[in-house]
């Protein structure tokens, strides 16, 4: 196992005036044994960053250190990493056992050691009964587990995951996330995991790197990123649904943006004590309702601005077109600078 250090990484494609810069000075320190998720929208540079760590993309500026070694000029095979891709990339003519063992055979690992490692990985991934099957005989989730097993048996310093769950259906993604969490607890290998799915990031990460337009927006635990977003991009990207950002509904200061999570907005009713109004309040008109089983999302407008409220199904909500009063406590409000989008001090 090893720590990973990213120092002022820059990536440009092309040269001269036609060069396109896709990473802008990304720096981060991933601790030994830590599971870090790189999350952001499509085209933000997260996969490019991962491929630079893997040695599949050249580094324009900056350096990458794995353990005590600067790896800028090392080939992928020399970096002691294992990568799991979105595409399973299994050999169709080989059995599950041979797919998992192939890299070890190339490395001239002994037959006994190969058997031991493959069997151990198969037990951990619940693949023991599938070792003689070919990939065409497996489901998508099973194929992804074989790809993960192929990485595990190498016993690398670092695991790199490039959106490995995006081809799975929602139920299987949730199950595989739990398997990955379990594996990391058992193996404690330093891991970088790329995804565009912020729910995936929140559930898997010990810490998360939120990227946008080639820049690192925030690096912290899921709790830190969710409860104290560094800027309006992070606030609007993390959360399902994301934080409400009110630019014109804040009468106190026209230079700030007011942010509030949907679960921290409450609908005023006559049974509430006056103390419930110890905060901000707005009148709003409902334009849509979304039923999600145990909870309901209420979509409303405050003037020209749209806002989402998360409430339980037992709450009384006016029909579409009706009006309501929304209240929020001071401690749940977030303030951002309107020009820079950066979080303001509490």
The pLDDT tens digits for 193-228 are 999 998 899 999 999 999 999 999 999 999 999 999
pLDDT for position 251: 53
CA torsion 231-237-239-242 (nearest 10°) is: 90
Residues 6 or more apart from 199 whose CB is under 8 A from it? 240
Provide mean pLDDT across the span 316-338: 92
**What's the topology of domain 244-337?**
OB fold (Dihydrolipoamide Acetyltransferase, E2P) (2.40.50)
Residues constituting the chain: 346
CA distance 283 to 267: 10
pLDDT tens for 63-74 read 999 998 999 999
For residue 194, give the H/E element and its range: strand 190-195
Domains 4-237 and 244-337 share a fold: no
Separation between Cα atoms, residue 16 and residue 292, nearest integer Å: 52
* pLDDT band at 276; cut points 50, 70, 90: very low
The CA-to-CA distance between both ends of the chain, in Å, stands at 39
Q: What does the pLDDT read at residue 124?
A: 84
| H-assigned helices in the chain | 46-54, 96-106, 111-124, 140-152, 170-187, 198-204, 222-227, 232-237
pLDDT tens column, 43-58: 999 999 999 999 999 9
Domain boundaries, the chain: 4-237, 244-337
What CATH code would you report for 4-237?
Answer: 3.40.50.300
Between 37 and 106, name the one with better pLDDT: 37
Percent over 90 (pLDDT), the chain: 68
Asked whether the whole model's pTM tops 0.85, one would answer yes
| Residue with the two structure tokens 């299987």 | 172
Q: Which residue has the tokens 């991934």?
A: 125
| CA-to-CA dists, residue 247 to 91, 251, 335, 341, 343, angstroms | 54, 10, 10, 11, 14
Give the count of beta carbons closer than 10 Å to the beta carbon of residue 228: 14
pLDDT at 129 over 80: yes
What pLDDT score was predicted for residue 272?
A: 52
pLDDT value of residue 156:
92
């Amino acid at each position: 196992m090893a720590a990973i250090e990213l120092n002022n990484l820059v990536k440009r494609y092309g040269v001269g005036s036609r060069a396109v810069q896709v990473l802008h000075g990304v720096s981060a320190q991933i601790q030994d044994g830590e599971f870090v998720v790189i999350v952001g929208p499509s085209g933000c540079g997260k996969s490019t960053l991962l491929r630079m760590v893997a040695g599949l993309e050249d580094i324009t500026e900056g350096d990458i250190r794995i353990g005590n070694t600067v790896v800028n000029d090392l080939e992928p095979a020399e970096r002691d990493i294992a990568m799991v891709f979105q595409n399973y990339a299994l050999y169709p003519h080989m059995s599950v056992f041979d797919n998992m063992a192939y890299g070890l055979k190339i490395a001239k690992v002994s037959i006994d050691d190969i058997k031991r490692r493959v069997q151990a990985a198969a037990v951990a991934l619940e693949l023991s009964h599938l070792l003689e099957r070919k990939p065409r005989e497996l489901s998508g989730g099973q194929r992804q587990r074989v790809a993960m097993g192929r990485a595990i048996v190498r016993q690398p310093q670092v695991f790199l995951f490039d959106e490995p769950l995006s081809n799975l259906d929602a139920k299987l993604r949730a199950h595989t996330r739990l398997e990955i969490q379990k594996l990391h607890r058992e193996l404690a290998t330093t891991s970088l995991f790329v995804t565009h799915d912020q729910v995936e990031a929140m559930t898997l990460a010990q810490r998360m790197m939120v990227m946008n337009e080639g820049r690192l927006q925030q690096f912290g635990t899921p709790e830190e990123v969710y409860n104290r977003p560094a800027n309006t991009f992070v606030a609007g990207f993390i959360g399902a649904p994301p934080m409400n950002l009110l630019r014109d509904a804040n009468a106190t200061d026209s230079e700030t943006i007011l942010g509030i999570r949907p679960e921290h907005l409450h609908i005023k009713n006559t049974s509430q004590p006056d103390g419930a109004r110890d905060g901000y309040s707005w009148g709003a008109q409902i334009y849509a309702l979304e039923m999600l089983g145990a909870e309901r999302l209420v979509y409303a407008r405050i003037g020209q601005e749209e806002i989402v409220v998360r409430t339980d199904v037992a709450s009384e909500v006016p029909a579409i077109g009706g009006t309501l009063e929304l209240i929020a406590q001071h401690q749940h409000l977030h303030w951002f600078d309107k020009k820079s989008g950066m979080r303001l001090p509490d």
